[in-house]
């Protein structure tokens, strides 16, 4: 099994993913569409939830990527169980 990885690049990418997720989560806190007569609470909830889920997945992948890079950096003369499990990470 071969791994090619650049821990620095992966860590940076993971942090960027977390930043993008936070931006999206903050922006997605929409509280209203407009005047009361055309408000649609159900639609607003759908939009909020959709944005939140997307942000959650992006952030989760970013954290997993950083963990992957950390474990890879820690490898010296043995392969940790954590790294093996991370190798099989199901990205979201």
Q: Minimum distance between the CB of residue 81 and another protein, rounded to whole angstroms?
A: 6
Taking CB under 8 A as the criterion, the residue among 15, 52, 63, 67 binding another protein is 52
Is 45 exposed, middle or buried, given 0-12, 13-18 or 19+ CB atoms closer than 10 A? exposed
Q: Does 47 bind another protein (CB under 8 A)?
A: yes
Shortest distance, CB of residue 36 to another protein, whole angstroms? Answer: 7
DSSP 18-37: HHHHHHHHHHT-----SSGG
Minimal distance in Å, beta carbon 41 to another protein? Answer: 8
Task: Determine, following the binding rule CB under 8 A, whether residue 82 of this chain makes contact with another protein.
Answer: no
């Amino acid at each position: 099994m071969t791994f090619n990885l650049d821990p620095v690049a992966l860590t940076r990418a993971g942090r960027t993913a977390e930043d993008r997720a936070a931006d999206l989560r903050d922006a997605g806190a929409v509280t209203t569409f407009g005047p009361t007569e055309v408000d649609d609470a159900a639609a607003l909830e759908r939009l909020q939830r959709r944005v939140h889920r997307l942000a959650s997945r992006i952030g989760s992948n970013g954290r997993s990527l950083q963990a992957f890079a950390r474990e890879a950096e820690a490898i010296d003369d043995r392969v940790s169980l954590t790294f093996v499990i991370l190798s099989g990470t199901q990205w979201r």
